[in-house]
Structure 1
Amino acid sequence: MTLVPDPPREPFLSVRDLKVHFTTDDAVVRAVDGLSFDVERGRTLGIVGESGSGKSVTNLAILGLHDRTRTTLSGEIVLDGTELLTSRERELEKLRGSRMAMIFQDALASLSPFHTVGRQIAETYAKHTGASRRESRARAVEMLRRVGIPQPTLRADDYPHQFSGGMRQRAMIAMALVCDPELLIADEPTTSLDVTVQAQIMDLLGDLQQEFGTSIVFITHDLGVISRVADDILVMYAGRAVERGTRAEVLRAPQHPYTWGLLDSMPTLRAPVDVPLSPIPGTPPSLLDPLPGCRFRPRCAFTEQVPTDRCATERPLLPRTPAHGAACHLTRVQRTEFHADYVTAQVC
């Protein structure tokens, strides 16, 4: 009996060579510069990087929320066969909320202070489904109950300022999921929350993903959070992807010096208590006039190991294969050896 291999699965969300440039009085800001990644149905992609690396800009482009009069976008964004960059605003409005939704970083700023939480959730449901006011109200209460809001029938009539930070974030999740979207983008949903509420929010997203089969893009700068929620990880730096792989591959065997720095700047239970944290030296480059070649070069300790000054002149690219890879001119053998030495030096 001959076994026929399963055909490769098409990604639910596919981003190819995405560029997002903003025109300013000084110059053009290349906020995202040639980014490619895939998200499979029912899986969570964690996008991690320092502030200003292009994480949120990327996901606003997916939702079509950039001002096209001041933003230049190019490349491809395909959601389940639908090309988003070339879609009209009316078509994107139908997709936003129904097939794709976003949990914004600051729930208090994202929710209207003039309307009750229940009304805002109900309006979203009514707009996309045509449900009656009574049906929409019942749906809003049901979603508040699902995300763990106590006494949802009563709390639906409260305003956002009457909710705690964790409850507002839960209300944002309820609003994002009220129409059962197939793609959920979570933009640092645990920022400014205490660790116990963070854990509750992450558990909630995992439970809802199991229930609805949602694909999730989780944006954060916290690798500790990523280690709990992500199936796959994309590391961004200065508007570009520098490493991609599964959670185990990126966290246990990182291949890029920037990822090493992110991991080594975090406290761990295994490190001696008297060993100070090791921050990444320097600052991210300006995206008004980015450096040629590798943008991490001024902060990298391994550029001298690459011959012919390739780091200064040639842009390193991620492999096109879906396997674990890094955009670095070091060979894979060098990366394995240098990372082992680097970690040893940090501990000793």
Structure 2
Amino acid sequence: MTTLTKTEDAPNPTGSDAFLSVRDLRVQFSTEDGIVKAVDGLSFDVERGKTLGIVGESGSGKSVTNLTILGLHSTQTTSIDGEIVLDGKELITAGEKEMEKIRGNKAAMIFQDPLTALSPYYTVGRQIAEPYMKHTGASKKEARQRAIEMLAKVGIPQPQTRVDDYPHQFSGGMRQRAMIAMALVCDPDLLIADEPTTALDVTVQAQILDLLKDLQQEFGSAIIFITHDLGVISDMADDLLVMYSGRAVERGTVREVLRNPQHPYTWGLLSSMPRLGGDTAQALTPIPGSPPSLLNPPSGCPFHPRCTFTGEVTGNRCAEERPTLGVGRASACHLTAEQKQTIFIDKIQPRLR
């Protein structure tokens, strides 16, 4: 059964007037092997008209967080604690009928793989029109016209004809555009994009990113953009949240985090990326080890078994004490501010040039 727990008021982690506020979110799944702690005490805000980027390796809790916001987890196997407030409405305690009014209307999601997210049995136009009819009470004729308008808006050629095509008749980039049209058909205030460009080639990826930015400017939506690609996020987001093992380990504006990262995990992500114009003979620096098991996460800092800078901290503090993420620009690390800056300048920055 889903556990519904409203936490006490927590400090605003970003200091902003949030349209979406997530406070101390904890999501656990019951499995045959035990309890999976998929999200473990996560807090963040998203402002209206702004984009929050969430980055991290697979299994860091990015997608689980955003499925939880939309209430898309099974109530039989999921335990949810914390607080999610969207435009003043608490979502964790909302019933299914209330969430049906929110999903696709107040908040919508663009899924990673449109071929599996779109039904093969219905035309693209019908799938775009259906939520519009449900939430606005529009007739089939009105909804069909709205679907054509949205297909045109997202750059589908000959929308009057393509509205009657099935998903398999669209290319990968066109299917993703159709998914975006379906997500935006009711002018949602919050748009969640879950790695929407992962399966696309770089040219189509750039087109989709430009499309999202243009549509955000037109509709004024808040966007949560989930990805593992820091190159993409640098072009899309205003603010950035770095997640690891179900927790936030660093937060700040995109400029702050990418230009002056303060957490060893963020250093690892940046060091492992190839760079345009970089020395092709220089080897990339991978993060050692593997992400921790969410069934049995390590004590203390979840990143300490893979961190090459644990020795900079005296004693066993990294292994025994969980670091906290402060308010505003912050990183959850036991290194002092002076140690972080010295390590970044001496050891990390030269790799990023």
TM range (shorter): over 0.9
Q: Distance in 2 between matches of 1:277 and 1:106?
A: 29
1:241-280 pair list within 5 angstroms: 241-280=248-287
1:8-87 pair list within 5 angstroms: 9-87=16-94
Identity %: 69
How far off is 1:297 after superposition? 0.4
Q: Distance in 1 between matches of 2:319 and 2:40?
A: 17
Matching residue within 284, 290, 298 for 2:291: 284
Q: When the two structures are superposed, what TM-score results if normalisation uses the length of structure 1?
A: 0.96
Moved over 4 A (4+): none
Cα deviation 1:271-314 (Å, max 9, x = unaligned): 32210111101000001011110010011011111123110111
Q: Secondary structure at the match of 2:300?
A: coil
The number of equivalent residue pairs is 339
Matching residue within 317, 321, 325 for 2:330: 325
Counterpart residue number, 2:137:
130
How far off is 1:25 after superposition? 1.1
Q: Distance in 2 between matches of 1:308 and 1:345?
A: 29
1:183 correspondence with 2:193: no
Matching residue within 325, 340, 344 for 2:345: 340
Q: Distance in 2 between matches of 1:108 and 1:48?
A: 23
Instruction: Please tell me the residue identity of whatever aligns with 2:135.
Output: H
How far off is 1:259 after superposition? 0.3
Counterpart residue number, 1:229:
236
Instruction: Please tell me the residue identity of whatever aligns with 2:164.
Output: D
Q: Distance in 1 between matches of 2:43 and 2:145?
A: 40
How far off is 1:9 after superposition? 4.9
How far off is 1:340 after superposition? 1.4
Q: Secondary structure at the match of 1:86?
A: coil
Counterpart residue number, 1:305:
312
Q: Distance in 2 between matches of 1:187 and 1:346?
A: 29
How far off is 1:339 after superposition? 1.2
Cα deviation 1:96-142 (Å, max 9, x = unaligned): 01100000111000001000000111111000000011100000000
How far off is 1:345 after superposition? 5.8
Instruction: Please tell me the residue identity of whatever aligns with 1:149.
Output: I
Can you give the 5+ residue segments of structure 2 that lack an aligned partner in the other structure?
1-14
Kept after mapping to 2: 8 A contact 1:272/1:347: no
Q: Distance in 1 between matches of 2:41 and 2:349?
A: 34
How far off is 1:192 after superposition? 1.1
Can you give the 5+ residue segments of structure 1 that lack an aligned partner in the other structure?
1-7
Change (3 A) 1:67 1:344: closer
- CA RMSD for the aligned pairs? 1.1
Q: Distance in 2 between matches of 1:89 and 1:331?
A: 46
Q: Distance in 2 between matches of 1:134 and 1:344?
A: 58
How far off is 1:258 after superposition? 0.4
Kept after mapping to 2: 8 A contact 1:292/1:315: yes
Counterpart residue number, 1:316:
323
Counterpart residue number, 2:224:
217
Q: Distance in 1 between matches of 2:277 and 2:154?
A: 35
Q: Distance in 2 between matches of 1:344 and 1:128?
A: 50
